């Protein structure tokens, strides 16, 4: 069996972000909850005072007890994650940890855990049930999401420091004493990652004797390692900011260093640089230029001194063409005492600025920039990384270009394009077209693909257009010509003809969405008078419906699939007074640069007034949740404490519409936006104002305006009078 680690918990906090809320609970009398199979009871016994005693529950210390109990813990974790949709949960035997984005979600999680455990008759330890908080101790480590750091508890630090002081005064100690201290150090390396390098020699010393009561000699190197550990624990108090999970190379950072015995040492970091010549004393220290490893280590340490503050929380891979230096940087050990001086300095800097440095060997021929700066090639610093790039370094620019191409698309568009390319590749495979992808964008292949989508996959014309857009995007990205349009921007005749055919085939299967205009919305609001669902649900639906209608909101702008405070509406995005209100949409479909959009509402003094419905909703929300409604909680929140989802909103909207005897299957979350556009057009609002209210940047608004039969009838009457 495998146990969860503190690294997994830290990784989850990193994904959730700063100010995450944590909860912890502990099952009381864990192993004793599980009975032993009656046929196995005779094997769980002991003899004491001429009496035989048998366990009927699993005892602590039993070899099979952890594995059997972990099955129960796994089942509990599965129930919380899959049945109650807890955002994150991990366990170590009887310890459970949850991480949530907001205090509201965390309170819901703690309530669910308490309810589930009580329902299953699994007792929780009150003294060890904590949360929601932003700082707690888990697996012996304090996780602090406010400071975004992990740290060792003070009592453990004091215990380790006392042991170090005791051994530092001795020339010899028993193997048991040294192993006890090594065990504490090994625990501390969960947080003090560079400390692992200063355990190997102490462990080597402990292995010099066999028995635990034998004495070992603490030499100079052992004492230096002990002093390093004391500095780790006292100077930085066992603290470590959460490191980023992704790795970054020195090329990504534009960080390059090198040294040459005849020239000196140099380093460059973006537009910053340093350069120096070797001191005669240092050259003698490096054994007359023969120890190139020491010479190349020196500028790396200088870089950490000068620029280490800019590397905070990063895991850096340093490309190096010196294999010996790569080994030393990764192991943090060397037989050379002078090199160890610099390694210790580098280790202390990595703790001070909280970064982790690793090394990877590359051939000298591909290390162009580093070699150039060590030979003092005279090149403008700003353009050094471009003018001297070798083939391997240029991959960095290629990766950047690919990344910027992807960032030009919205996440939903990226997913749609990925689907389109995947289906195109499937078509090539099933059609036995054995060519590489970039060779398959000729006009004839595109025609075959459209026919495949229409006749085989029966895909809607709108989806086919999306897939063709993905093909066009990919072609332009790799530098090919547009496979769908001529150079003047017009559609190619064959492609346009097949797309029109697709529209004819799909015309019957298109889903028609009816508008919710002001008249139907009034009936819905009258129905939601507090007795249709309940007082809270009715007030929530009235407020969300009226805000969506007058704000021309898309369903994804006021409902969520998975709540994210940085993307979705929160309480802090709403400013409301007696006669008006403002919503701040952080992201929307037409706001490609995410500048944010402000939606304004004003009092209408009728049954559809968004201001009065918002005030009513806020009042009922305060009664239900009280102080739990923090500014980072969702704007529209269900009675369960979760953000209003699109599925739940549409489901309840259709229930209300069905109560009028109307077929509700033609109504969706988008019906409010369609109804708002239609109502605005019927009210005689000018076209430019409809486009502004609906935030349309194209002529797409025309598709949203539906003309009622009464309007057409009036038009006939007016025509007949002429």
Over 80: is that where the pLDDT of 528 sits? Answer: yes
pLDDT band at 242 (very low <50, low <70, confident <90, very high): low
User: Which pLDDT score is estimated for 385?
Assistant: 43
Mean pLDDT of 392-405: 67
Q: What is the pLDDT of residues 125-177, one digit of tens each?
A: 988 899 899 999 888 888 988 888 888 888 888 888 888 888 888 889 999 99
Q: Strand pairing of 597-602 and 574-576?
A: unpaired
257 pLDDT exceeds 60?
yes
In DSSP terms, 613 is beta-bridged to none
Q: Which of 250-259, 394-403, 654-663 has the lowest mean pLDDT?
A: 394-403
In the prediction, which pLDDT does 99 show? 92
Average pLDDT (558-578) is 86
The rounded Cα 567 to chain-centroid distance in angstroms is 13
Share of the chain above pLDDT 70, in %: 86
Burial pattern 679-708, b for ≥16 Cβ within 10 A else e, equals bbbbeeeeeeebbebbbbeeeebeebbbee
- What confidence tier does 716 reach under pLDDT thresholds 50, 70, 90? low
State pLDDT tens for residues 453-493.
888 888 888 888 888 998 888 888 888 888 888 878 788 88
pLDDT in tens, 199-217: 878 888 888 888 888 999 9
Q: Model confidence over 32-76: pLDDT tens digits?
A: 888 988 888 888 888 888 888 898 888 888 888 888 888 999 999
pLDDT at 391 (0 to 100): 43
Q: Is the pLDDT of residue 371 over 70?
A: no
In three-state secondary structure terms, 458 is coil
pLDDT computed for residue 22 by the predictor: 93
Question: Picking from 582-596, 665-679, 693-707, which range would have the lowest pLDDT averaged per residue?
Answer: 693-707
What is the pLDDT, as a whole number, of residue 383?
A: 43
pLDDT at residue number 715: 66
Rounded mean pLDDT, 175-188? 89
Q: What is the pLDDT of residue 629?
A: 56
Q: What is the average pLDDT score of the chain? A: 82
CA dist 414 → 81, 409, 438, 594, 679 (Å): 28, 6, 19, 17, 34
Do residues 68 and 40 make contact, with C-beta atoms less than 8 angstroms apart?
no
CATH: 3.30.930.10, 3.30.365.10, 3.30.70.270, 3.20.20.140. Which one for 6-150? 3.30.70.270
Topology at the third CATH level for domain 247-386: Nucleotidyltransferase; domain 5 (3.30.420)
What's the rounded mean pLDDT across residues 218-229?
85
What long-range pairs does 677-682 form, CB within 8 A, spacing at least 24? 677/515, 677/552, 677/701, 677/704, 677/705, 678/515, 678/517, 678/704, 678/705, 678/706, 678/707, 678/708, 679/517, 679/518, 681/705, 682/517, 682/708, 682/711
On the question of pLDDT at 379 being above 60, the answer is no
Query: Which pLDDT score is estimated for 79?
Result: 92
Class of domain 407-506: mainly alpha
Residues 6+ away with beta carbon under 8 Å from 630: 102, 103, 104, 571
Q: Per CATH, which fold does 518-703 belong to? A: hpI Integrase; Chain A (1.10.443)
Instruction: Classify 583 as helix, strand or coil.
Output: strand
Confidence of residue 25 (pLDDT cuts 50, 70, 90): very high
Determine which of 12-16, 547-551, 603-607, 647-651 has the lowest per-residue pLDDT on average: 12-16
Q: Using pLDDT thresholds of 50, 70 and 90, give the confidence band for residue 387.
A: very low
Domain with CATH 3.30.420 in the chain: 247-386
* Segment 338-345 mean pLDDT: 84
Q: Where does the chain hold its CATH 3.30.70.270 domain(s)?
A: 6-150
HEC string for 349-415: HHHHHCCEEEEEECCHHHCHHHHHHHCCCCCCHHHHHHHCCCCCCHHHHHHHHHHHHHHCCCHHHHH
Q: Kindly tell me if the per-residue pLDDT of 702 is higher than 80.
A: no
The helix-helix angle for 687-694 and 671-682 (nearest 10°) equals 160
pLDDT, position 507? 54
- What angle do the packed helices 443-455 and 493-506 form, to 10 degrees? 0
Q: How confident is the model at residue 283 (pLDDT cuts 50, 70, 90)?
A: low
* CATH 1.10.443.10-classified regions of the chain: 518-703
What is the per-residue pLDDT across 639-691, written as a single tens digit (0 to 9) for each? 888 889 999 999 999 999 999 988 888 888 888 888 888 888 888 888 888 88
**pLDDT value for 657:** 92
Cβ–Cβ under 8 Å, residues 601 and 610: yes
Residue 628: pLDDT over 60: no
CA 378 – CA 276 distance, rounded (Å): 15
Query: What is the band of 96 on the pLDDT scale with cuts at 50, 70, 90?
Result: very high
154-236: CATH, from 3.40.50, 2.60.120, 3.30.70, 3.40.1000: 3.30.70
The predicted pLDDT at position 238 comes to 55
């Amino acid at each position: 069996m495998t146990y969860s680690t503190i690294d997994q918990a830290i990784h989850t906090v990193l994904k959730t972000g700063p100010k995450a809320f944590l909860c912890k609970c502990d099952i009381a009398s864990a192993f004793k909850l599980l009975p032993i199979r009656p046929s196995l009871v005779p094997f769980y016994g002991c003899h004491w005072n001429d009496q035989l005693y048998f366990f009927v529950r699993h005892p602590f210390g039993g070899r099979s007890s952890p594995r059997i109990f972990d099955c129960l813990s796994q089942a509990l974790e599965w129930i919380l994650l899959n049945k109650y949709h807890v955002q994150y949960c991990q366990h170590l035997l009887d310890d459970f940890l949850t991480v949530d984005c907001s205090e509201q979600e965390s309170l819901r999680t703690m309530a669910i855990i308490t309810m589930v455990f009580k329902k299953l008759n699994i007792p929780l330890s009150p003294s060890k049930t904590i949360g929601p908080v932003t700082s707690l101790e888990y697996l012996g480590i304090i996780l602090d999401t406010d400071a975004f750091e992990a740290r060792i508890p003070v009592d453990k630090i004091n215990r380790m420091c006392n042991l170090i002081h005791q051994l530092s005064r001795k020339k010899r100690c028993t193997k048991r004493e040294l192993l006890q201290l090594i065990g504490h150090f090994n625990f501390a390396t969960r947080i003090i990652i560079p400390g692992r390098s200063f355990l190997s020699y102490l462990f080597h010393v402990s292995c010099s004797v066999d028995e635990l009561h034998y004495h070992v000699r603490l030499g100079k190197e052992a004492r230096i390692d002990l002093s390093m550990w004391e500095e780790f624990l006292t100077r930085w108090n066992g603290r470590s900011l959460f490191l980023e999970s992704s790795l970054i190379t020195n090329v990504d950072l534009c960080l390059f260093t090198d040294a040459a015995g005849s020239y000196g040492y140099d380093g460059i970091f973006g537009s910053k640089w340093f350069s120096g010549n070797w001191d005669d004393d240092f050259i003698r220290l490096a054994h007359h230029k023969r120890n190139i490893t020491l010479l190349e280590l020196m500028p790396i340490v200088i870089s950490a001194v000068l620029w280490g503050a800019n590397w905070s929380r990063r895991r850096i891979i340093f490309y190096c063409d010196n294999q010996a230096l790569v080994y030393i940087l990764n192991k943090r050990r060397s037989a050379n005492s002078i090199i160890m001086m610099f390694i210790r300095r580098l280790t202390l800097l990595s703790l001070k600025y909280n970064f982790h440095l690793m090394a990877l060997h590359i051939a000298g021929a591909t290390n162009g920039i580093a070699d150039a700066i060590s030979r003092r090639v005279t090149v403008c610093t700003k353009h050094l990384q471009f003018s001297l790039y070798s083939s391997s370094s240029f991959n960095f620019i290629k990766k950047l270009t690919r990344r910027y191409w992807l960032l030009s698309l919205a996440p939903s568009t990226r997913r749609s394009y990925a689907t389109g390319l995947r289906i195109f590749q499937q078509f090539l495979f099933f059609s036995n077209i054995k060519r590489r992808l970039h060779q398959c964008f000729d006009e004839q292949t595109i025609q075959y693909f459209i026919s495949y989508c229409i006749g085989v996959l029966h895909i809607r014309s709108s989806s086919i257009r999306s897939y063709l857009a993905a093909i066009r995007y990919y072609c332009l990205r790799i530098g090919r010509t547009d496979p769908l349009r001529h150079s003047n921007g017009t559609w190619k005749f064959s492609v346009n003809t097949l797309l029109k055919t697709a529209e004819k085939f799909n015309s019957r299967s298109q889903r028609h969405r009816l508008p919710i205009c002001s008249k139907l919305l009034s009936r819905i609001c009258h129905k939601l008078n507090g007795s249709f669902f309940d007082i809270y649900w009715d007030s929530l639906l009235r407020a969300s419906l009226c805000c969506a209608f007058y704000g021309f909101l898309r369903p994804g702008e006021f409902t969520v699939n998975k709540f994210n405070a940085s993307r979705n509406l929160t309480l802090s995005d709403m400013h409301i007074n007696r006669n008006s209100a403002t919503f701040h949409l952080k992201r929307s479909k037409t706001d490609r640069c995410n500048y944010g959009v402000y939606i304004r509402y004003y009092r209408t003094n009728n049954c559809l007034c968004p201001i009065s419905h918002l005030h009513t909703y806020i009042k009922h929300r305060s009664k239900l949740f009280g102080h739990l409604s923090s500014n980072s909680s969702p704007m529209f929140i269900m009675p369960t404490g979760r953000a209003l989802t699109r599925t739940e909103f549409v489901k309840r909207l259709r229930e209300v519409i069905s109560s009028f005897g109307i077929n509700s299957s033609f109504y969706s979350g988008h019906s409010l936006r369609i109804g708002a556009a239609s109502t605005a057009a019927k009210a005689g609002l000018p076209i430019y104002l409809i486009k502004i209210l609906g935030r349309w940047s194209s002529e797409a608004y025309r598709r949203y305006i539906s003309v009622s039969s009464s309007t057409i009838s009036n038009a006939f009457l007016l025509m007949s009078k002429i």
